[in-house]
Amino acid sequence: MMKLHKTKFVGLAIALGLSANASAQMMINGAGATFPYPIYSKWFDEYTKVDPSVRFNYQSIGSGGGQKQIMAQTVDFGASDGPMTDDNLSKAPGKLLHIPTVAGAVVVVSNLPGNPALKLDADTIAGIFLGQIKKWNDPKLTALNPGVKLPDQDIVVVHRSDGSGTTFIFTDYLSKISPEWKQKVGNNTSVNWPAGIGGKGNEGVSGQVKQTPGAIGYVELIYALQNKMPYADVKNSAGEFVKPTLESVTAALSTAEIPDDFRFSMTNAPGKDAYPISGATWLLVYQQQKDPAKGKKLVEFLKWAMSKGEEMAKALDYAPLPDSVQQRVLKRIDEIKT
């Protein structure tokens, strides 16, 4: 009888301990970009070792959703690969800060027999996504890819169906290199696509391209690598065909002019080593935090991310911010009021 009581007591102690532990944990909620999701997941996971009292719940719903949710204050931070417009910032209930975190490459992935690594230039990318280049053996494509057997097959364009920062980076590039694209379609987190089918998230586009023969789409580099999909070398503004790599994204980032509010573009960057479809990604946080305890924990996390977190970027094929920019961002984080 005594034994039974003892076991019951131990069980009760464990249950109490667990519930006390669970209630002591603070949940910080975020939502937005799928582009940096692999690195953010790593950060949130690693940070629980630094501060076990905090847990992060991040919904990878696309940059458009991240901007909407932070403006509606349904999350503690938003995430976006396109900086917010002046118009959206003015509608927010408080001053929103853009905290740049890492930069990455948007790559053009395809599904062709033999999985060739293609060479593409501004004209062919714009032509395909405008729906004007319709066949894989189009003379413009065969001229760029001598020695590659391109089939007499329809090109199936795959684009994002949700509001997306990856789309923002891609259409920012297209608007810079194609006057026709700029006039007809423009640059935004979601646009009226002239051609193709939609996929939700970087995950959705990767999946659609992988299962559709003749497909072409655009995703963040890590998604192409994880799915073992071939991606194109793209001719940059200096006339060089450049592979999307950590080094070529860093080269593009090194030429970016970064203003005081940290809203900047780095597509079609100058320099022979720069990959032209590169972009940064931002966390969106209110300067004045509503919940002092949560605000304090969020600031501690942001400071860690800007120092220790940046060191983890390269392993996942993202480019860390240059040291000088990290220092500027740390000063901005100090302006968050809790």
Residues 221 and 169 in one domain: yes
Domain end, chosen from 278, 295, 322, is at 278
In a domain, residue 1? The reply is no
Where residue 233 sits, what CATH number does that domain have?
3.40.190.10
Asked whether the predicted pLDDT for residue 4 surpasses 70, the reply is no
Averaged pLDDT for residues 29-36: 94
Smallest CA-to-CA distance from 160 within 62, 76, 40 is with 62
What pLDDT shows up at residue 6?
A: 44
**240 and 312 belong to one structural domain:** no
pLDDT band at 79 (very low <50, low <70, confident <90, very high): very high
Residue 19's pLDDT band (boundaries 50, 70, 90)?
Answer: very low
Residues 140 and 48 in one domain: no
Residues 201 and 255 in one domain: yes
Asked if residue 260 and residue 112 are part of one domain, the reply reads yes
8 lies in some domain: no
| Tens-place pLDDT, residues 226-246 | 999 999 999 999 999 999 999
Question: 2 pLDDT exceeds 60?
Answer: no
Assess whether pLDDT exceeds 70 at residue 13. no
Residue 311 within any structural domain of the chain: yes
Q: Is there a single domain that holds both residue 172 and residue 228?
A: yes
| pLDDT (tens digit per residue) in 200-227 | 989 999 999 999 999 999 999 999 999 9
Strand bridging mode 77-80 / 197-199: unpaired
Q: Is 125 within a domain? A: yes
CB 287 within 8 A of CB 277: no
Q: Is 221 in the same domain as 311?
A: no
Q: Identify any residues that bridge with 29 across adjacent strands, giving them in sequence order.
A: 57
Query: H/E element holding 201?
Result: helix 201-211
> Does 87 score more than 70 pLDDT?
yes
Residue 10 domain-assigned (yes or no)? no
Task: Report yes or no on 245 lying in a domain.
Answer: yes
Looking at the structure of the chain, the number of domains it has is 2
Confidence at residue 24, expressed as pLDDT on a 0 to 100 scale: 67
Q: From CA 176, how far away is CA 255, in angstroms rounded?
A: 16
Q: What DSSP character marks residue 270?
A: S
What one-character-per-residue DSSP string does 208-236 give? HHHHSTTEEEEEEHHHHHHTT--B-EEE-
Which of 238, 260, 278 is the C-terminal boundary of a domain? 278
Which residue, 263, 278, 293, sits at the end of a domain? Answer: 278
Same domain, 271 and 286: no
**3-state class of 319 per DSSP?**
strand
Q: Mutual orientation of helices 292-307 and 323-333 as an angle, nearest 10°?
A: 170
pLDDT at 21: 46
User: d(Cα 66, Cα 315) in Å, to the nearest integer?
Assistant: 25
Query: Are 242 and 130 members of one domain?
Result: yes
**Position 214 in a domain:** yes
Residues 136 and 153 in one domain: yes
State which residues form the domain around 93: 28-103+279-333
In what helix (H) or strand (E) does residue 78 lie, and over which residues does it extend? strand 77-80
Amino acid found at 61: I
Query: Given this model, what pLDDT does residue 105 score?
Result: 96
At residue 22, does pLDDT exceed 60? no
Confidence tier at 25 by pLDDT (50, 70, 90): confident
Rounded mean pLDDT, 170-184 = 97
Q: Are residues 297 and 189 in the same domain?
A: no
- Is the pLDDT at 41 greater than 60, yes or no? yes
Contact predicate 59/74, CB 8 Å: no
198 and 241 share one domain? yes
Query: What is the helix (H) or strand (E) element at residue 63, kind and residue range?
Result: helix 63-71
